[in-house]
Amino acid sequence: MLLDLNAFLNAEPKAPRVRPTTGERLVAALRKLAGERAEIVSHSETAWASVTFTGSRHTVLLRFNGWEACDDGENFVADLPDHEFTLPCVLVADATVTRNEQVLLPEPAMDVEVELLLLDNRD
């Protein structure tokens, strides 16, 4: 069996497969929980460790603009503490709303800042 070397030489290289980071997966899960009207304003991540666990602490700021979006924001605030996240190789140990600011004029808007503690769960 003969191989066509021109097929190998002229073939375009495949782009490397890039897997989303844990932070990107977390933001996607929060966006899904918050609803399509939510806007992710910022996300920061810091390493975290205790004597027995390692992980990361994430701070995410979400903005909800308009009446319907603010309703979504209120539901998000109510649902977040008991939500079961399904992120591979991580356990969400704590999810807390750290700031919730609302304004009515000139149009309703809500900023919700949440802090999440993720523990590595690689077996």
pLDDT digits 0-9 by tens, 70-123: 999 999 999 999 999 999 989 999 999 999 999 998 899 999 999 999 999 876
- The CATH number given to whatever domain includes residue 44 is 3.30.2000.30
Q: How many structural domains compose the chain?
A: 1
Query: End-to-end CA distance of the chain, in Å?
Result: 45
C-alpha span between 54 and 86 (Å, rounded): 18
Q: Is 12 inside any structural domain? A: no
3-7: average pLDDT: 64
Enter the tokens of residue 72.
Answer: 């979504």
Beta partners for residue 112, in sequence order: 62, 100
- Residue range of the domain that includes 76: 21-120
